[in-house]
Amino acid sequence: METLEFQAEARQLLQLMVHSIYSNKDIFLRELISNASDALDKVRLAGFQDKELAVDTDDLRIELEADKDARTLTVRDNGIGMSRAEVVDLIGTIAKSGTAELLRKLKESKENSADLIGQFGVGFYASFMVADKVTLVTRKAGETGGTKWESAGEGTYTIEAADDAPQGTSVILHLKPEDAEDHLFDYTAEYKLREIIRRYSDFITWPVRLKVEKTEKSEEGETTTTTEFETVNSMKALWARSKDEATEEEYKEFYRHISHDWTDPLEIIQMQAEGTFEYQALLFIPAHAPLDLFMRESKRGVQLYVKRVFIMDDCEALMPEYLRFVKGVVDAQDLSLNVSREILQQDRQIQLMRRRLVKKVLSTVKALDAEKYRTFWQEFGAAVKEGLVNDFDNRDAILEISAFASTNSADELTSLKDYVGRMKDGQEHIYYLTGASRSIIENSPHMEAFKAKGYEVLILTDAVDEMWASSVPEFDGKQFQSIAKGQVDLDSDADTAAKSEEFADLLTWMTEALKDTVKEVRLSSRLTTSPACIVGDANDLTPTLEKMYRAMGQ
């Protein structure tokens, strides 16, 4: 037997669990059942993909067994299991991206830690809300020896060989003695377990069987008590049901199961396509951006099923990167169970399906009410705008659902449609300026003449704004024009010509004096209070983009 230490971040999260920051401890069971369900999905897939592998895929199931006297609750599955190395890796450390970020935020804000951690999802560690000791026995499908892991949720855990372990994983919770008298936390009571499974795990597509006692009276009046396993969940795949066959609460639970996000989704999207290529999709737009939305390892949130069989997570063939925050399930009827990521990328039907999913997501966003839309854009706008650069087909649709800060209002964003509606007579372009912050942009000398003349300027402060603004040609026939680039003349031509003549000598002298630094010195009507400013050529990069490229070493 070996004693090992939890990784530092894992220890910190465990502390939060041991001192239970949630009022609702019931959710530990949902986490364990969710893990068991994933493990069953994986073993079935392994069985399909590798017929040689000695895996047992008969009678896949999740079992729950309570022992009132010993005060234990066991959650057992005969799924994929874990090797010893995997136990150390998966249970002893937290590999999830965004962990460091989460812990930093948790340290900063004491009050809403439950909210924050809810967005993250605590998984297996939730066991320590109800147990003061957890034993996990597991054997990886296809391997011979098993592993036993045990911990009290403090700094360390023990690990040893368990040769007789069956395929799959058993988690034995030694329930906290201080909860023994509290019926709210009686996790050995049949009614309690039934209720939790029904509430949180009904849609799980594997049988969740609860060990129950049955008492029978014979004709002679003798009572006999037997125990048996009874399936408690309905096992109906939620995406295959029509909207009126499922409740709002069921959708929300399902969302939690697949997203590990404990806050309710902002919007639910259901699609059913019949015909030559049949599929069902159940998609969710979250209410919060995940912590890793802008990290390189950020995953895409859509799972692929084929005829109810889980095939893969993070299916990049189904959702473009700029919609990576969309979560959900797509179940296709006419694909092979052996389909690979490479095949998916090239499959024409999949491409068609993806196109329809994207259109549906964009049109759903367009139809959101004002309040939901505001939340959506605040959380995901910066990601969605990446689509302006990458998704040529949907550029117009993305422009339509985009919102921008502008000089028109200090706190309200504007749509492009509204901007165009406010354009002055004779204004041909949609003006914008990019920069690091609103105040920098507002105080830029480039802004002066536009302010003085009352022209509205979009204030673009996201990193991605540089990219799309210089590559998207127009909206509604109006070109985008950076006010930091080229000749933006607000006075009439005759006016400028007359003045240029007046200042011709000065301009020649200045051009000569500054010839190593600038291309040309010219008169401009763009300034009102500053004496001079530097502008780029119309085809030049904007200053921010120039800085970005320079930083990237180009």
Residues annotated in a binding site for ATP: 31, 35, 77, 82, 96-98, 119-124, 169, 341
Binding mask 207-246 for ligand ADP (x = CB under 6 A): ----------------------------------------
Beta bridge partners of 280: 272, 331
CB 62 within 8 A of CB 206: yes
The CB-of-369 to Mg ion minimum distance in angstroms stands at 33
How far apart, in Å, are the Cα atoms of 105 and each of 120, 262, 292, 295?
Answer: 12, 17, 13, 16
Told to check if 124 binds ligand ADP by CB under 6 A, we report: yes
Which listed range, 35-43, 173-181, 426-434, 462-470, lies at the site for ligand ADP (CB under 6 A)? 35-43
Q: Please, which of residues 166-185 interact with ligand ADP by CB under 6 A?
A: 169
Q: Which of 47, 92, 123, 290 binds ligand ADP (CB under 6 A)?
A: 123
Block residue for tokens 């309710």: 264
Binding mask 113-152 for Mg ion (x = CB under 5 A): ----------x-----------------------------
CA geometry: angle 466, 471, 475, nearest 5 deg: 105
36 binds, among ligand ADP, Mg ion, none (CB under 5 to 8 A by kind): ligand ADP
Counts for the chain of helices (H) and strands (E), in that order: 20, 20
Binding mask 65-94 for ligand ADP (x = CB under 6 A): ------------x-xxxx-------xx---
| CB neighbour list of residue 313: distance below 8 Å, 6 or more residues apart | 299, 303
79 binds, among ligand ADP, Mg ion, none (CB under 5 to 8 A by kind): ligand ADP
Told to check if 35 binds Mg ion by CB under 5 A, we report: yes
The CB-of-39 to ligand ADP minimum distance in angstroms stands at 3
d(CA 250, CA 487): 58
In sequence order, what DSSP letters do the residues of 209-244 get, joined into one string? EEEEEEEEE-TTS-EEEEEEEEE-S----GGGS-GG
The CB-of-435 to Mg ion minimum distance in angstroms stands at 42
CB 114 within 8 A of CB 123: no
Q: Please, which of residues 257-276 interact with ligand ADP by CB under 6 A?
A: 260
Told to check if 55 binds ligand ADP by CB under 6 A, we report: no
The two beta strands, 131-139 and 146-151, are antiparallel
Return the amino acid letter for 140. Answer: K
Using the minimum distance from each CB to ligand ADP, give the nearer residue, 81 or 543.
81
Buried b (16+ CB within 10 A) or exposed e, 256-294: bbbbbbbeebbbbbbbebeeebebbbbbbbbbbbbbbee
Block residue for tokens 């092979």: 336
Using the minimum distance from each CB to ligand ADP, give the nearer residue, 121 or 166.
121
Interface contacts to ligand ADP, rule CB under 6 A: 31, 35-36, 39, 77, 79-82, 90-91, 121, 123-124, 169, 260
Interface contacts to Mg ion, rule CB under 5 A: 35, 123
